[in-house]
Structure 1
C-alpha cells in the first residue's frame, strides 16, 4: 500500500482541486435535531439543576432496540446474538476524591450546576458506587482487528454505559464510566483503570475538543486508594497503582468493531438492525427508506474518517492504537490510550512503546484509516448487493483524494495562505521536509510563523523564537523563505495583523505533550491535582497566549528528561 504521508510530502502539488470520488458531503454526525419533547420540558434560560435526583438517564431505547445477552452476570464469557450485556459497575473502594471536573461538560451538556460535583452523591454516581436514576448499565459487545489481525470478541472490558441523556438543547449523549469494573468482556483484565491513564484520557479528550477535533468528552475524574496491579511496560515488573474512573460522554460509542463482530459471527439480521439504528439516530440526512442507504452510510463514514485523520495530523496527534475497535462510526476520536502529540516533526513518531513495528506511527495513520475502512466494507458486505459492493469499492478508492484535499486545506490555513496558487503544495511540502531534517518542533514552528511579522521573516529576525531558529539552520531555509514571503505578499486584500490572527486561530500554542501529562500524573499520584487542574484550564484555550502557561514552560523547548518518556497500552 502506498504511503499516504509520502504522497503528501513528495506530491502535494497533486492535491490542488481534487474532487472526492462518489463521497457525499453531510453535516457532521454530532449535529443532532432538537427534541420537541425536551424543548417543552426546559426553558432555555432556566437555571441549571441543583440536585442530582433531578438528573435522569434512560437505557430504554438501547434495550428495546436490540436483543440483550440472555445471561445477566459479570463473569467473562463468549457472547452471541446480542449487542449489549447487562453489567453492574463495581464500586471503587474509597476514600474517593474528585481529581478533576469539566465545567463545560457538566453545565453545558449535562445541565447541572458544577457545584453539585462537590457532593458525596456525585462521587458515588460518577465512580460506579450508585446508579443514576433510570440507569440500567450495559456493556457493549464488539470485536476488532488489532494490529492488523482479527482478534475476535473484545467488547467493553472495563466500561459501563449508564444510559442516554437528552439535554435542554435536545442533544442526546450516552454516559459511560471507564474503569468501573469487570464485564463479560474483560477477558483476563480486572476492569479497572489507573490514575496515569485516566488523567491522560480526561485531559486529552477535553483538549482535543478545544482544538476543534471531533472527540468524546470527559465530565469528571475520580480517584481512590483501591490498589490496582499493573505491568506497565510488559517487562515483568508489576507494581501497585491506584484506581480511577472517568465519566465520559459521546453521542454514540458504536465503532467499526461493533459491526465486524456481527458480520464475522454470521448474525446478519442483527447487523442490519444495528445499521438501521445507527443511521436513524446519527445519520439523519439519510433516507431510511432508501434502498442504497447502507452504501450512502459507508460513503459518509469514508468521508468523515478521512477528515478526522487529517485533523489529527494538522495538530500533530498520534492516536497510538488505531485498531478497528477504536474507530468510531461517527468519526470522533475515542478510546484515548497511548496517544502522543508529536514534538520534533517526524513521520516515524510512535507514541505507543508496545507498537514495536511502528504500525500506528503518526505518518501511517491515514493508511491505517484506509485499512480500517476496508474492514468496515467487509463487515457491510452481507447487506450489500454485488453492485453496491462494487460502488462501495469505488467510494473507498476516493478516500486518498479526500484525505489529501483536506490535508492541503488544513496546512494552507496553518501557513496563512489564501486562495489557490500553483506552488502552494510545494511550499507546504518543502517546509515539512525542512522540519523533519532539522527536527523542528511541529506545534511551535507553526505557531511562531503565526506570530512573526513578514518583515521579521524577511530579515530572519527570530529572537526568542527557538523553533524558527532551529528551522532556519537548514541549508535551504532561505530558498523556502523567499517563496513563502513572496506568496504572502500576493495577499493584498488583508493586512499583516489579519493574517497573523487567522494563523493563530488554527495553530495552537499549547498541546498536551507527554512531559506535561507526566508531570501532572506524578503529582496526582501523590494526591496533588493542581497541575491536572492547571493543564485542563490552559488547554481549554490552546490558541491564546497565557501567562501561567508561559511560566510553566508549556510553549518552551521540551525538557531533556521528556525524551526518555514511554507510554504503553497498559492502564
Structure 2
C-alpha cells in the first residue's frame, strides 16, 4: 500500500508544513446546516425560504437595479461603443447588450433564485416582458450595463487583456434580506472585450451553465447562481472541437447572479499595466464590500485579505473534489476573489474514479485534470500574490509567501475532514487518512464510480457490509472485485465499531447528507441539450428539479436512470471550450 501523500490525489505532492495565518471558520458538521435543503420525515424537501406570493414583485416595471456604487467607485472607460479595443485606466466599459433575435423561449427558470433572491413572483417569468429583460432586449429600471475589464493567465501563460467578451452586468439588486447581488447576462452580445468572438453563447453551453450553477448550490458548493435560460432561433456559427467543422447552432442567454464577479484577473490586469492607484482602489472596494472580517483601517489589510482568499480557495477546491467536480478551465480569470465557482465551461463530474480525468478536450496536456486542481489553485494564488506585490511592503510580501505555504496544510485538513464525513467517521484516529487513501486506490484500480461508490456505502447496512451483500449496488459490486477489498472492509468495519453511541441508522443518515445520489453527469446534460435544441425543455426542467435535491432518492430520477450505471455511449462524449 502507498502512503496517503501518493495515493490520495487530492493532496498536494509538495506538502510543506507551515502554520497558516488567519484561518477561517467553516462548517465541519455533517448535519443539515451544511446544506441548502432540509429533508422532511416524509422524504420530501422543504425550501430554504418561505414567503407569501402577495409579498413578491408582480410587475417587472417595479423591479430595479443600481449601478451607482460601481460607477461612482471607479473610472469608467472614456470610449463608448462595443467595438473591440485595448482599454486602459478603468475597471468597466459601458456596453449595451445586443438583443437576441426571436422568437424567444423560456427554456428554464430557477424559482429558488427568482423568488428566494430576486423577490419576484415566478409567474412573472412567463411574461413577454421577462423574456426581453432576461435576454438583453430591454433594460431593467436603473440599469447601466457594464462589461468588466480583466486579464488572466490561461493554461499557465499571461494572456493580456481578456474581459467580459459576451457578458453584461446589469446592476446590483438589494433584496428583502439585505443581500446585494450583481445580475449579469451571459451570451448577450459583443463588448469591447470580445476579441474575435461574436459575443454569443449557444444552447448547449447555456443549458450546462444553468443546470450546473444550480446543482452546485444544492450540493453545498459556493457558486454563482442562474435565474433563467432564454433560447432563440438566432443562428450562431461554432466550430465545437476546433476541427474545421463549423456548424450553425442557436443563441441563448443565461441570467446569472453572484455577490461579485471580480476575479484574480481583475487585479492582474491592473498590476501588469502599472495602474497601481486603480489596483489599490479596487482592492479597497472589494475588501469594504465583501470582506467584513477585514478591518479597512488595518495597515496589514491587504495581507489579511490575501490570507482569507488563500484559505477560502483551498476550501472551495476541496469541496469540488469531495463531489468529483472538475472545473475544466482553472485560469486565473475564472477564479473568483470571493472563492465561489464561476464561469462554467467544459466542466465535468467524474464517473469512474480517475485522478487524470480531464473534462475539456481542448486541454491536450491535461493541465486542468481533476487531480491537478489543488496544485492549480496554488499556481493561481501565486499569481494573485504577484498582482498584490505593488501594494505590499517588503515585509508584507515575505509574510504573504509564508501564508501561501500554509495553503497545502489548509487544503489537506479540509480534504481529510470532507472524506472522513463521506465515510461516516467520527472523531479522529491515526489511520483515518490511510483508510481513505486505501479506498481511493481500490476505486482507481477497479474504475469504480466516484459518486455512487460513496452513496452506496451510505445506503448499505452494517449487516450487508459484514456479509459483503451488495445486491443491486452496482458500484460496490465493482469495488468489491478488488483483491484487497476484504482487507479494507475489515478495517472500515472495525473503525466504525469504535464509534460509541453511533447507530447504523445514524451513520447512514450522516453519510447520505454529504454523499449525493445525483450529480450532473455529462451524459445527462447531453440528453437534455439534444431535446432543448429541438425546443423540448422537459429534461432540462426534470434535471433542474432533481439536482435541486441531490441527497434525496427520487422516483422520477430512478426511472430516468440517473443513479444507474452510465450508458456505454457516455464514454464517447466530449466537451470543449467552444461555446
Same fold (TM over 0.5): yes
Q: 2: distance between equivalents of 1:131 and 1:122?
A: 11
CA displacement 1:473-508 (0-9 Å, x = unmatched): 000000000000000011121211111000000000
Equivalent of 2:121, from 91, 110, 113? 113
Q: CA deviation at 1:24?
A: 2.9
Q: What residue number does 2:302 align with?
A: 294
Q: What residue number does 1:35 align with?
A: none
Contact 1:257–1:324 (CA under 8 A) maintained in structure 2: yes
1:13-28 matches, cutoff 5 A: 20-25=19-24
Q: What residue number does 1:57 align with?
A: 65
Pair 1:9-2:5 in alignment: no
Q: Residues 20 and 237 (structure 1 numbering): CA distance in 2 closer, same or farther, change over 3 Å?
A: same
1:11-50 matches, cutoff 5 A: 20-25=19-24, 47-50=55-58
CA displacement 1:59-96 (0-9 Å, x = unmatched): 00000000000001100000000000000000000000
Q: 1: distance between equivalents of 2:147 and 2:370?
A: 31
Question: Partner of 1:67: helix, strand, or coil?
Answer: coil
Q: CA deviation at 1:23?
A: 3.4
CA displacement 1:512-568 (0-9 Å, x = unmatched): 000000000000000000000000000000000000000000000000000000000
Q: Structure 1: which 5+ runs fail to align?
A: 29-42
Pair 1:387-2:395 in alignment: yes
Q: CA deviation at 1:193?
A: 0.1
Q: 1: distance between equivalents of 2:335 and 2:199?
A: 21
Contact 1:515–1:562 (CA under 8 A) maintained in structure 2: yes
Contact 1:198–1:221 (CA under 8 A) maintained in structure 2: yes
Pair 1:519-2:527 in alignment: yes
Q: 1: distance between equivalents of 2:148 and 2:456?
A: 45
Q: 1: distance between equivalents of 2:296 and 2:85?
A: 35
Question: Partner of 2:8: helix, strand, or coil?
Answer: helix
Contact 1:12–1:425 (CA under 8 A) maintained in structure 2: no
Equivalent of 2:456, from 430, 448, 459? 448
Q: 1: distance between equivalents of 2:52 and 2:14?
A: 45
Q: 2: distance between equivalents of 1:19 and 1:223?
A: 50
Q: 2: distance between equivalents of 1:343 and 1:13?
A: 22
Equivalent of 1:260, from 262, 268, 273? 268
Q: 2: distance between equivalents of 1:550 and 1:19?
A: 47
Q: What residue number does 2:153 align with?
A: 145
Pair 1:403-2:402 in alignment: no
Q: 2: distance between equivalents of 1:334 and 1:214?
A: 9
Q: What residue number does 2:488 align with?
A: 480
Q: 2: distance between equivalents of 1:117 and 1:11?
A: 42
Q: What residue number does 1:37 align with?
A: none
Normalized against structure 1, the TM-score is what?
0.95
Q: 1: distance between equivalents of 2:458 and 2:510?
A: 8
Q: What residue number does 2:130 align with?
A: 122
Cα RMSD over matched residues?
A: 1.9
* Displaced runs of 4 or more, over 4 A: 4-8, 10-16, 43-46
Equivalent of 1:495, from 492, 497, 503? 503
Equivalent of 1:248, from 245, 252, 256? 256
Pair 1:323-2:331 in alignment: yes
CA displacement 1:358-390 (0-9 Å, x = unmatched): 000000000000000000000000000000000
Q: 2: distance between equivalents of 1:15 and 1:393?
A: 15
Q: 1: distance between equivalents of 2:532 and 2:54?
A: 36
Q: 2: distance between equivalents of 1:401 and 1:259?
A: 26
Contact 1:44–1:169 (CA under 8 A) maintained in structure 2: no
Q: 1: distance between equivalents of 2:272 and 2:12?
A: 41
Contact 2:231–2:253 (CA under 8 A) maintained in structure 1: yes
Q: CA deviation at 1:135?
A: 0.1
1:541-556 matches, cutoff 5 A: 541-556=549-564
Q: 2: distance between equivalents of 1:347 and 1:375?
A: 25
Q: 1: distance between equivalents of 2:176 and 2:143?
A: 19
Equivalent of 2:365, from 349, 353, 357? 357
Equivalent of 1:180, from 165, 175, 188? 188
Q: Residues 15 and 509 (structure 1 numbering): CA distance in 2 closer, same or farther, change over 3 Å?
A: farther
Q: CA deviation at 1:58?
A: 0.3
Pair 1:470-2:469 in alignment: no
Contact 2:446–2:478 (CA under 8 A) maintained in structure 1: yes
1:54-93 matches, cutoff 5 A: 54-93=62-101
Q: 1: distance between equivalents of 2:239 and 2:12?
A: 47
Contact 1:5–1:363 (CA under 8 A) maintained in structure 2: no
Q: Structure 2: which 5+ runs fail to align?
A: 28-50
Q: What residue number does 1:229 align with?
A: 237
Question: Partner of 2:108: helix, strand, or coil?
Answer: strand
Q: 2: distance between equivalents of 1:202 and 1:76?
A: 28
Q: Residues 14 and 66 (structure 1 numbering): CA distance in 2 closer, same or farther, change over 3 Å?
A: closer
Q: 2: distance between equivalents of 1:330 and 1:19?
A: 24
The alignment of Structure 1 onto Structure 2 pairs a total of residues equal to 553
Normalized against structure 2, the TM-score is what?
0.93
Question: Partner of 1:61: helix, strand, or coil?
Answer: helix
Question: Partner of 1:393: helix, strand, or coil?
Answer: helix
Pair 1:98-2:97 in alignment: no
Contact 1:523–1:531 (CA under 8 A) maintained in structure 2: yes
Contact 2:53–2:121 (CA under 8 A) maintained in structure 1: no
Pair 1:218-2:226 in alignment: yes
Q: 2: distance between equivalents of 1:517 and 1:328?
A: 25
Contact 2:7–2:438 (CA under 8 A) maintained in structure 1: no
Q: What residue number does 1:132 align with?
A: 140
Q: 2: distance between equivalents of 1:489 and 1:13?
A: 31
Question: Partner of 2:267: helix, strand, or coil?
Answer: helix
Q: 2: distance between equivalents of 1:14 and 1:97?
A: 49
Question: Partner of 2:233: helix, strand, or coil?
Answer: strand
Contact 2:77–2:92 (CA under 8 A) maintained in structure 1: yes
Q: 2: distance between equivalents of 1:15 and 1:74?
A: 46
Pair 1:192-2:191 in alignment: no
Q: CA deviation at 1:13?
A: 13
